[in-house]
């Protein structure tokens, strides 16, 4: 048997008692992860469901996710993996759709998961397409009417019903779910429309900001290092205080810096920038050594090649292009002979290798972000039903809410969980 694969447990959902299958018409706005999940659970519970998607097909982000592999869930998700005004908002949903339940659900729609040691899960096919194919077939079989190329432009409510308006039609429904996602990755159909709809019903929208995103640096040298990739420990510094340390890949780029370690610190960095705080990063290019050991290593390296120029010598421990600009920042000419360096200069170099600072000026923007922080305030949503506390019959699920997850399957995790709860509850 393949590592991480358990034998399939088949899972069915029949219409439970207490569900009103008569005249319960539901509109779901958005055919992404949360909208599809909600449609499936609401339809399976007997409701008459119509899903509106303004793209020509549903689930574009699912297809693009995880570099085409879809990191579909994480076995270890908890409120600690999320940010927002109230990260504990997610706890109930994550309990309802715990990993065991989700895996059974996946089996029921013909999807087998490959579970990695760190809790990340992918489809066994290693292809995001499998996730969409399985989910789409299940939603179609459930009886949901899927309308594509159907951009919702307005949602209004009278005493009893909601009216959902597209450019072509106006339809009345007893309940509406806003599952329009966030502004991240507009090229995949993302829009801020959900916030507009929520606002029109009196909901508070917390300022949005890109997350899981590359950062812009204020330095004249990063464009010259564009394309250079290495491993480093990245420390995020906000208003002079160290906030987070992550070790992983970094990649210099024309605009600044990217890589998994950068994406991992980007939520806090982006939120601080939104709040006009001073943001910088410090790179430790040899994270496995402490400060003193690093000085010893550099001294030993230089002692063994005293006749080399300092750039050539440094290339023994760090990438050549990085060595060039590190020396420039240290104010040491590349051609300086190693034996001509004084102890103070050697210390300075060792110090820079362990703590190379860059000011962060901006993120690379929503277009390049995987997700967005901020959104519809969770304070006005019931986390056990996903229904608005202000408007009866209006529901929210997924990234449109002020919840943003870490990298590692956590964002889909909340989208599936909140979508499932909304779907079940709307069908009641």
Ligand X SMILES: Cc1cc2nc3c(=O)[nH]c(=O)nc-3n(C[C@H](O)[C@H](O)[C@H](O)COP(=O)(O)OP(=O)(O)OC[C@H]3O[C@@H](n4cnc5c(N)ncnc54)[C@H](O)[C@@H]3O)c2cc1C
Distance CA 113, CA 66 (A): 14
Write down how long the chain is. 428
In the set 4, 8, 25, 64, which binds ligand X (CB under 6 A)? 64
Find the binding residues for ligand X in span 35-54 (CB under 6 A). Answer: 35, 52-54
Distance CA 337, CA 311 (A): 9
In the set 46, 87, 123, 181, which binds ligand X (CB under 6 A)? 181
Residue range at the interface with ligand X (CB under 6 A); choices 154-162, 227-235, 339-347, 403-411: 403-411
Which lies closer to ligand X via its Cβ, residue 188 or residue 352? 188
Distance CA 418, CA 412 (A): 10
In the set 81, 103, 183, 193, which binds ligand X (CB under 6 A)? 193
Which lies closer to ligand X via its Cβ, residue 43 or residue 71? 71
The CB-of-358 to ligand X minimum distance in angstroms stands at 25
Residue range at the interface with ligand X (CB under 6 A); choices 9-17, 180-188, 268-276, 388-396: 180-188
Residue range at the interface with ligand X (CB under 6 A); choices 275-283, 321-329, 375-383, 393-401: 393-401
Pairing of strands 279-284, 356-363: antiparallel
Residue range at the interface with ligand X (CB under 6 A); choices 315-323, 336-344, 346-354, 410-418: 410-418
Number of residues that bind ligand X (CB under 6 A): 40
The CB-of-56 to ligand X minimum distance in angstroms stands at 10
- 190 near ligand X (CB under 6 A): yes
Residue range at the interface with ligand X (CB under 6 A); choices 63-71, 81-89, 198-206, 386-394: 63-71
Find the binding residues for ligand X in span 4-33 (CB under 6 A). Answer: 29-33
In the set 115, 152, 176, 394, which binds ligand X (CB under 6 A)? 152
- 415 near ligand X (CB under 6 A): yes
In the set 262, 349, 371, 381, which binds ligand X (CB under 6 A)? 371
- Per-residue contact flags (x/-) with ligand X for residues 96 to 135, judged by CB under 6 A: ----------------------------------------
- Per-residue contact flags (x/-) with ligand X for residues 223 to 252, judged by CB under 6 A: ------------------------------
- 346 near ligand X (CB under 6 A): no
| 332-340 LR contacts (CB < 8 Å, sep 24+) | 334/309, 334/310, 335/309, 335/310, 335/311, 336/309, 336/310, 337/306, 337/307, 337/308, 337/309, 337/310, 338/302, 338/305, 338/306, 338/307, 338/308, 338/309, 338/310, 338/313, 339/306, 339/307
- 184 near ligand X (CB under 6 A): yes
Do residues 414 and 93 make contact, with C-beta atoms less than 8 angstroms apart?
yes
Binding residues for ligand X (CB under 6 A): 29-35, 52-55, 60-61, 64-66, 70-71, 151-152, 179-181, 184-185, 188-191, 193, 370-371, 398-400, 409-412, 415
């Amino acid at each position: 048997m393949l590592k991480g694969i358990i034998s399939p447990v088949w899972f069915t959902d029949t219409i439970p008692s207490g569900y009103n299958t008569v005249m319960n018409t539901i509109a779901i706005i958005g055919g992404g992860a949360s909208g599809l999940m909600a449609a499936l659970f609401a339809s399976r519970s007997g409701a008459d469901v119509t899903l509106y998607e303004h793209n020509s097909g549903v689930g574009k982000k699912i297809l693009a996710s995880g570099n085409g592999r879809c990191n579909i869930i994480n076995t270890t998700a908890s409120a600690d993996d999320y940010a927002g005004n109230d990260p504990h908002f997610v706890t109930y949903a994550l309990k309802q759709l715990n990993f065991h339940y989700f895996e059974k659900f996946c089996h029921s729609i013909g999807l087998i998961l490959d579970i990695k040691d760190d809790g990340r899960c992918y489809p066994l096919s290693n292809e995001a397409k499998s996730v969409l194919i399985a989910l789409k077939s299940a939603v179609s079989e459930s009886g949901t009417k899927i309308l594509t190329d159907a951009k919702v432009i307005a949602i209004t409510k009278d005493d009893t019903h909601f009216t959902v308006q597209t450019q072509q039609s106006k339809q009345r429904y007893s309940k509406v779910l806003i599952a329009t996602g966030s502004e991240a990755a507009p090229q995949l159909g993302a829009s801020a429309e959900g916030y507009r709809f929520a606002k029109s019903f009196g909901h508070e929208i917390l300022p949005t900001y890109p997350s899981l995103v590359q950062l812009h640096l204020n330095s004249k040298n990063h464009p010259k290092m564009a394309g250079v990739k290495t491993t480093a420990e990245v420390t995020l510094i906000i208003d002079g205080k160290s906030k987070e340390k992550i070790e992983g890949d970094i990649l210099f780029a024309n605009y600044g810096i990217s890589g998994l370690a950068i994406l991992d610190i980007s939520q806090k960095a982006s939120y601080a920038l939104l709040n006009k705080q001073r943001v910088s990063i410090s790179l430790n290019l040899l994270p496995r050594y402490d400060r003193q050991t690093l000085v010893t290593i550099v001294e030993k390296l230089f002692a063994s090649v005293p006749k080399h120029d300092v750039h050539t010598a440094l290339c023994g421990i760090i990438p050549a292009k990085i060595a060039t600009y590190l020396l420039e920042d240290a104010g040491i000419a590349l051609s300086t002979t190693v034996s001509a360096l004084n102890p103070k200069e050697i210390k300075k170099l060792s110090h820079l290798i362990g703590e190379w600072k860059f000011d962060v000026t901006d993120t690379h923007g929503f277009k390049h972000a995987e997700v967005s922080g901020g959104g519809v305030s969770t304070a006005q949503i019931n986390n056990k039903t996903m229904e608005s506390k202000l408007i009866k019959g209006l529901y929210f699920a997924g990234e449109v809410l002020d919840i943003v997850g870490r990298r590692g399957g956590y964002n889909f995790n909340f989208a599936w969980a909140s979508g499932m709860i909304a779907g079940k509850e709307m069908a009641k």
